[in-house]
Amino acid sequence: MRPVYLWFVPLLGILTACSQMPESRSPRDFSPAPSESEMNRVSPAFAHYTNDMVIGDLWHRAGLSARDRSMVTLSALITQQQVAELPYHFNLALDNGVTPNELSEMITHLAFYTGWGNATAAVAILSDVFEARGIDNSSSPAIPEQRLPLDEEAEANRQKLVDERFGNVSPGVVNYTTDALFLDLWLRPGLAARDRSLITVSALVAAGQPEQVTFHLNRAMDNGLSKEAASETLTQLAFYAGWPRVFSAMPVFKSVFESRGVLEQ
């Protein structure tokens, strides 16, 4: 028998704590996003850059679709647990064509790549967004009936390499890496391999881990991410993960582009 989450029980009590509270009120209504009037009261400068440079310019650039920009942005926000902007960007992602189940798969993927606690927080916020839009993803498969095809040779090489390097450092990590990640998570059909790679690379840049980018950027480009899209991913991340994260990642992107002969494109 599998364990059951018991800790939600007391939270339910809060929802009915005050009989006068609006029905729709829930814990996540207390997300700390500022209104536009609050933005202007505090920082006309920040409101200006947000409206004119980010919303008015960045999001409309060529080279990366609005849908992809939403996936990159959500990866950066979830990785850094920047929950204040999540309601807005979950809604924008749905408007930009990311499906509810793709959001579910993204959060699940980022649980493994950025830590469980980030995904838990994201699920809570997305639940409110789904409720407000009348979306229910509960019929999506917990375990898919069919999985994406596996490149068995590449996976055998990966296993061999990781096992030789780290098999006697942490067998637990090495085994879960194979069984949970590469033979399971990455083969779930709910999110295209190219999209899994895009959010993985975005998460690595946002987390400040350029040392892990080489493997995943190559994989992303093997999975169909163009050089132009990778380049614009960095532009999007400059705003949502901060300039220094991007400047630390650029030498790695350059070296991957060079090794694939696409730097001068």
Q: What are phi and psi of 262, to 5 degrees?
A: -115, 10
Site residues for a second copy, 246-265, by CB under 8 A, read: 246-248, 250-251, 253-254, 257, 263-264
CA distances 100 to 46, 58, 197, 214, Å, are: 31, 24, 19, 30
Residue found under tokens 């400068």: 45
Query: What's the rounded Cα separation, in Å, for the pair 59 and 61?
Result: 6
The enclosing H or E element of 174 equals: helix 171-176
Smaller CB separation from a second copy, 2 or 152: 2
Task: Give yes or no for residue 231 binding a second copy (CB under 8 A).
Answer: yes
Using the rule CB under 8 A, give the single segment among 102-110, 145-153, 217-225 that binds a second copy: 102-110
Query: What's the rounded Cα separation, in Å, for the pair 46 and 39?
Result: 7
Longest dimension (CA), the chain: 65
Q: List the one residue from 114, 219, 220, 225 that touches a second copy (CB under 8 A).
A: 114
Q: List the one residue from 49, 96, 148, 159 that touches a second copy (CB under 8 A).
A: 49
Closest CA to 209 of 116, 47, 80: 80
Q: List the one residue from 23, 45, 149, 153 that touches a second copy (CB under 8 A).
A: 45
Smaller CB separation from a second copy, 35 or 153: 35
Query: What percent of the residues of the chain are helix, what percent strand, and what percent coil, each to the nearest 5?
Result: 70, 0, 30
Task: Give yes or no for residue 23 binding a second copy (CB under 8 A).
Answer: no
Tokens at 71, concatenated:
């996936």
Number of residues that bind a second copy (CB under 8 A): 141
- 3-state SS class at 31: coil
Site residues for a second copy, 169-208, by CB under 8 A, read: 169-173, 176-177, 180-181, 188, 190, 203-204, 206-208
Q: List the one residue from 97, 141, 189, 224 that touches a second copy (CB under 8 A).
A: 141
Contact 163, 174 (CB under 8 A): yes
Site residues for a second copy, 62-101, by CB under 8 A, read: 63, 76-77, 80-85, 87-88, 91
Q: CB of residue 146 vs a second copy: minimum separation in angstroms?
A: 15
> Alpha-carbon torsion 111, 116, 117, 121, what sign?
positive
Q: CB of residue 17 vs a second copy: minimum separation in angstroms?
A: 5
Q: CA gyration radius for the chain?
A: 20
Smaller CB separation from a second copy, 30 or 152: 30
Q: CB of residue 95 vs a second copy: minimum separation in angstroms?
A: 10
Task: Give yes or no for residue 104 binding a second copy (CB under 8 A).
Answer: yes
Smaller CB separation from a second copy, 124 or 222: 124
